[in-house]
Amino acid sequence: MHRFLLTPRWWGINVFVALAIPVCLFMGSWQLGRFEDRVGSHREATAQRPADLTAAPLDSLLPVTTETSGRLASTAGEYGRQLLVPERQLDGREGFYVLTLLRTDSGRTLPVVRGWLPGPADAAKAPTPPTGRVEVSGALQSSENSGTKGVHSQGGLPEGQLGVIGSATLVNLVPDPLYDAWLTVQTPVDGMTPVPAKAPNNTGLDLKAFQNLGYTGEWFVFVAFVIFMWFRLYRREVETLRDAEAGLLPATPDATTGPDAGADATADAGAAPDAATGSDADAPDPATATARPGR
């Protein structure tokens, strides 16, 4: 009964199932691993760092990676132009960052967020940066982009304000080469609140992390669906063979014995007398012929 499994059609079905199941399992496991990596990076980014952790030279921590993001970095130079970064929340309150461009001793410019202030962005509220050469240390952060959570990416900001902290948005404002990173000072400065370090891009419990978790479930559902469809096709094939062996399948109508054959035969039989004797309208009436007098 199960010889149908060796037919070319079922060979194709079996090969497809044998390949689809491991592929779906692999993709589901990979997406689950991505989710676990994001959870682990989120825990590392939000973990309390030792208070006596010394700052490392800025250039030794570049480029910014998941391992170096949030690390304390130090550099020196002179503060220059100051910008405000509006619509930034801290502890559930709306405010703005005070960002000052630091021209380092290497000749490259580094954005430094010196702190956060509540309320709408107002240049009059922002403390002026120190003059002369300064040494700065802060948490190293990777450049933001338009997809970073919490940034103002619509544009249309007034002069002196910046929506996204990154070299791509500052390249037209700064004549010097830019670092593809920025620092956030972790000690209180001029009454401003320090901005805590954020998790690296594409890490943490953000929307992408839960998308990975959703994709994991989808791939495992695909495995169950493939198995279900194979079993359904197999059961239908077996039931069809059993019905055929028991004679339960309807016979195919024959052209000579079908229901239309009887009707055609009756019609032919009714038309036969007319063909042999002619039409009744042409035959003489016997009664009329007898009663007619002769001449």
Q: Is 115 helix (H, G, I), strand (E, B) or coil?
A: strand
pLDDT tens digits for 125-148? Answer: 999 999 999 999 999 999 998 878
Residue 51 has a pLDDT of 44
Q: Which amino acid is at 272?
A: A
- Encoded tokens for 290: 């007898």
Find the helix packing angle between 8-46 and 207-245, rounded to 10°. 160
* Stretch 73-100: mean pLDDT: 96
* Stretch 56-69: mean pLDDT: 91
Tell me which of 84 and 211 has the higher pLDDT: 84
Residue 128 has a pLDDT of 95
- Tell me how far CA of residue 157 lies from CA of 4, 27, 95, 153, 154, in angstroms: 71, 43, 15, 10, 8
Residue among 69, 102, 64 at smallest CA distance from 83: 102
How large a percentage of the chain has pLDDT more than 70? Answer: 76
Residue 66 has a pLDDT of 79
Distance CA 142, CA 127 (A): 25
Burial profile 183-212: b = 16 or more Cβ within 10 angstroms, e = fewer: bbbbeeeeebebbebbbbbebbeeeebeeb
pLDDT tens digits for 97-114? Answer: 999 999 999 999 999 999
DSSP 226-255: HHHHHHHHHHHHHHHHHHHHTT-SPPPPPT
Mean confidence (pLDDT) of the chain:
82
Residue 179 has a pLDDT of 96
Distance CA 194, CA 135 (A): 17
As a whole number of Å, the end-to-end CA separation of the chain is 93
Q: How confident is the model at residue 202 (pLDDT cuts 50, 70, 90)?
A: low
Q: How confident is the model at residue 1 (pLDDT cuts 50, 70, 90)?
A: low
pLDDT tens digits for 244-261? Answer: 888 877 755 544 444 454
Q: Average the pLDDT over each of 4-8, 77-81, 104-108 and give the range with the smallest value.
A: 4-8
pTM for the whole structure: 0.61
DSSP 267-284: HHHHHHHHHHH--GGGSP
